[in-house]
Amino acid sequence: MALIPVRCPLCGGEKVKKRGKTDDGKQRYLCQNENCEAKFFLLDYTYNGRKSDIKHKIIEMSLSGSGIRDIARVLEISTDTVISELKKKETLLDSVNSELLKTLEHTENIEVDILKVEEAEADEMWSFVGKKENQRWLWHAVDHKTGKVLAYTFGTHEDKVFLELKRLLEPFGIVKFYTDNWGAYERNLNPANHEIGKRNTQKIELTFPVLKLTCCLY
In a domain, 142, yes or no: yes
Question: Do the domain assignments include residue 4?
Answer: no
Task: Report how far residue 119's alpha carbon sits from residue 166's, in angstroms, rounded to the nearest whole number.
Answer: 13
Domain at 137, CATH number? 3.30.420.10
Distances (CA, A) of 73 to 68, 82, 86, 181, 216: 9, 10, 16, 42, 16
CA distance 139 to 7: 44
Measured CA to CA in angstroms, residue 84 lies from 26, 141, 170, 173 at distances of: 24, 29, 34, 37
Residue 33 is predicted with a pLDDT of 85
The reported pLDDT for the residue numbered 105 is 58
The domain in which residue 84 lies consists of 16-91
Q: Which residues of the chain have pLDDT under 70?
A: 1-4, 38, 63-65, 91-94, 99, 103-116, 129-130, 208-218
Q: What is the pLDDT of residue 93?
A: 65
Residue type at 105 in one-letter notation: E
The predicted pLDDT at position 30 comes to: 86
pTM of structure: 0.58
Pair 115, 206 in one domain = yes
The structural domain count of the chain equals 2
pLDDT at 23 (0 to 100)? 81
**Residues linked to residue 140 through DSSP beta bridges, in sequence order:** 123, 152
Tell me, yes or no, whether 212 and 124 share the same domain: yes
Of 62, 91, 120, which one is at a domain's C-terminal end?
91
Domain end marker among 30, 60, 91: 91
Give per-residue pLDDT as tens, 151-164.
999 999 999 999 99
Amino acid in position 196: I
- pLDDT 10s digits, 45-90: 777 777 777 888 888 887 666 778 889 999 999 999 988 888 887 7
